[in-house]
Every structure is written in structure tokens, then in C-alpha cells.
Amino acid sequence: MATQHIPLTDEDAADRAHRVEELLERLESMTDPGTRATIAELLQPLLELYGEGLARIVAAAADAGGAELVDALAADELVGHLLLLHGLHPADTETRVREAVERAAPRLGGATAELVAVEPLAARAGTGAPGTAEHGTADADAGGAVARVRLRRRGGCRSSVPALRAALEDTIREAAPEIARVEVEEAAPPPPVIPVDSLLRGRSGTRTS
């Protein structure tokens, strides 16, 4: 039975997404395995159908308008999330993570962050270094990737390091759900700056003596 499309605002779409997450959590908590299996059996072909439909839309958009049109579709927040869900997003993982780090800047309270690398998680499993967000842990999803980010705090930054890490991790995981681990290392503070007039006074005193 066909239904009439009712446009949603970005806020409405976000509410629907949260509702789906809540329902999936309730599904996971169901004690009847038969019920869980039936619902999962229903959802899987629906996801496959929607994924195939999106794939054909992306292919048609690429044929009609090239990469620019596909990028424009992916730039929409809702469409971009759906493309991510079905593995159809045109931007690769590193590009999306780098852009996410840049978008996180307003949430860092004056601190700055830069992407160091995106690496296969299997190569770094269990190698978390002290000071990283996931020190000493190995993710079960060995097929994922780890994003390494360097954080620099400035004198006026009042946010704690854990809060800054959480902001970076949330933004990165939203843009790249395939990232299994985020490692945030804090850069060493810059060396103290000695005022030029102090240096000049020191040299003048040396010559006088």
C-alpha cells in the first residue's frame, strides 16, 4: 500500500533515528529468541531493498551529474548517514575522519586537533599507548580501523582532556561508523617563550661585567 510522503525537518529526522536506535535496543533485550529472530528476518530484507534502491539512485546521479551531484547528495546530513549505513558514501574513511576533526573545533574550547593517521585496527590491536582514549584495549572488530588524533591544549582552554577526547570521538564515530577505535594523544606543550627584552638585558649585563 502506497503512502503519501510527508517531508521531515532535520530535527524530525534526528528524532526518528533516535527512535530506531531505541527500538533496536529493545529488540536486543527481548528474552524470546524466536521473536528476535522473526523481527531480524523481517528487517534484513528491508535493509537490503533500501540499500539496493539507494545504490541505484547514486549510480543514476553519477551518470546524470557526475561526482559533484553525488557529493551534493552525501552532503545532506540524513542522506549522508543512509549512504554510510549501506556502504555507499563517496568519501573514503580518512577524508570523512579528517573533516570530522575539523568540524569538532567549536567543541574543543580553544584546543586544536589534527588527524595523524587512519590505520587498520588489526595492526594496532592491544597497542594503545598511555594517554590514548583506548589504552590497553583490543576491539573485537579486528576488521575495523583506528583513528589517531593529536590534541593540543592552549593556556586558555578550560575543558578537561577526557571531555575533549569524548567530543572528538563522538564526532568521528558519527562521520565514520566503521572506525572501531579512536586514539587521542595529547601533544607536548610548546617550550616557554623568553621575551626579547629579557635576552637583550641579559646580553647587556654580560658585556658590562
Residue 206 exposed, middle or buried by CB count within 10 Å (0-12, 13-18, 19+)? exposed
Instruction: Flag whether 120 is in a domain.
Output: yes
Asked if the model's pLDDT at residue 99 lies above 80, the reply is yes
Residue 55's contacts (CB-CB under 8 Å, 6 or more residues apart) are 86, 88
Query: For residue 206, is it within any domain?
Result: no
Task: Give the chain's mean pLDDT.
Answer: 80
- Within a domain: residue 197? no
Average pLDDT over residues 109-136: 67
For residue 103, pLDDT over 80 is answered with: yes
Q: Report the pLDDT averaged over residues 134-141.
A: 39
Which pTM was predicted? 0.64
User: Would residue 204 count as lying in a domain?
Assistant: no
Report yes or no: 125 and 132 within 8 Å, Cβ to Cβ.
no
Whether 208 has a pLDDT exceeding 90, the answer reads no
DSSP states of 155-168: TT--S-HHHHHHHH
Which of 50, 85, 120 terminates a domain? The answer is 85
pLDDT in tens, 153-199: 776 566 677 888 888 999 998 888 889 899 988 876 666 666 666 65
What does the alpha-carbon distance between residue 117 and residue 109 come to, in Å, rounded to a whole number?
A: 23
Looking at the fold, whether 101 and 178 belong to one and the same domain comes out as yes
Which of 85, 108, 125 is the C-terminal boundary of a domain?
85
Residues 56-76: tens digit of each pLDDT: 999 999 999 889 999 999 988
The pLDDT of residue 205 is above 80 = no
Please check whether residue 38 lies inside any domain of the structure: yes
pLDDT of residue 60: 94
What integer pLDDT is reported at residue 131 of this predicted model? Answer: 45
* pLDDT over 60 (residue 143): no
Contact 176, 96 (CB under 8 A): yes
Of 85, 111, 138, which marks where a domain is finished? 85
Greatest alpha-carbon pair distance for the chain in Å reads 97
Same domain, 117 and 182: yes
**170 in a structural domain:** yes
Q: Which domain holds residue 157?
A: 93-186
The number of distinct structural domains making up the chain is: 2
CA 50 – CA 16 distance, rounded (Å): 16
pLDDT digits (tens, 9 = 90+) for 14-28: 898 889 889 888 888
User: What length does the chain have?
Assistant: 209
